[in-house]
Amino acid sequence: MTTIICITNQKGGVAKTTTTVHLAHGLARLGKKVLIVDFDPQGQSATTLGIDPQPGVFNLLLNRQAQIVGSGRPNLHILPGDPSTATAQIVINAENRSLSAIQDAIQRFAHEYQYILFDTAPSAGGIQERAIFASHAVLIPTSTEFLSSDGMMKGVELINKLREERGWNGSMLGILPTFYDEQTNISRETLAQLREQFGDYVLAPIHRATIFRDCAAEGRTVFESNPLHRSASEYAALVESVLKRT
């Protein structure tokens, strides 16, 4: 059975791509066959894995061609995106394509993977809604910083709207606090507020760490760069949580 997870937030800079890539690689390291579909026009999921951005999503949505490429890592593949993804969004909106457009497009190869992860752009506009609708579960990374909750709440509202008005039958996988720093009041307060409001949906936080910037520049994950680093342990814990919740 294939589980499709959409990683989304309507605010940028919350470690969405970092989370997508590390969750995918973590699952793949455990023997799960995983595909990343990069719906963000910046194409950073590919870049983070050391792969050049490509018009894979554009061709999937407009030409029905699945140009899946290997990541150079066992069990992990990617359907890359690039700036042409934004053009695809304009076209599918102009043509008023069905909310199930992405769901329909991936059906023919979804069965080949145990997990498919969607990395989405930090804004609504067509692709994000269709990506959530095609998913079984949604994971929302949110930074533990000032004003960080706005994008997260918009994401929660969108999920509820799709469920109530459009019949989406997926679930909230969890809210992932990122850039956590227990030395700062704002991080501690934000995490406490999240737990008070969302309870068990709030997952263990990912601490702020410079290793993520270094890894992205090298096209490697933290599992490859320093598997003993705290960040590797934290993302490994996220992988275990996802396995239990799915």
Tens-digit pLDDT profile for residues 28-38: 999 999 999 99
Mean pLDDT of 116-129: 87
Q: Can you state the angle between helices 185-198 and 149-166, rounded to 10 degrees?
A: 20
Four-residue CA torsion sign, 219, 224, 230, 235: positive
Distances (CA, A) of 53 to 34, 47, 81: 18, 6, 6
Q: Where are the alpha helices (DSSP H) in the chain?
A: 16-29, 44-48, 56-58, 84-94, 101-110, 127-133, 149-166, 185-198, 211-218, 222-225, 230-245
Max Cα–Cα distance, the chain, nearest Å: 50
What pLDDT band is residue 43 in, cutting at 50, 70 and 90?
very high
Region of poorest pLDDT, from 75-84, 125-134, 146-155, 196-205 = 146-155
Q: Which of the four CATH numbers 3.40.50.720, 3.40.50.12160, 2.30.130.10, 3.40.50.300 does domain 3-245 have? A: 3.40.50.300
- Please name the residues in contact with 84: beta carbons below 8 A apart, sequence gap of 6 or more: 41, 55, 57, 58
What residues does each domain of the chain span?
Answer: 3-245
Check whether 123 has a pLDDT greater than 80: no
Strands 115-119 and 171-178, bridge-based pairing: unpaired
Instruction: State the residue for tokens 């410079």.
Output: 210
**What share of the chain has pLDDT > 90, as a percent?**
87
Four-residue CA torsion sign, 124, 130, 133, 138: negative
Report helix, strand or coil for 106.
Answer: helix
Strands 69-73 and 76-79, bridge-based pairing: antiparallel
Distances (CA, A) of 84 to 22, 53, 99: 25, 10, 20
Using one digit for the tens of pLDDT, what is the confidence trace for 50-86?
A: 999 999 999 999 988 889 999 999 999 999 999 999 9
What pLDDT band is residue 11 in, cutting at 50, 70 and 90?
confident
- Please name the residues in contact with 244: beta carbons below 8 A apart, sequence gap of 6 or more: none
**Quick one: pLDDT at residue 154?**
86
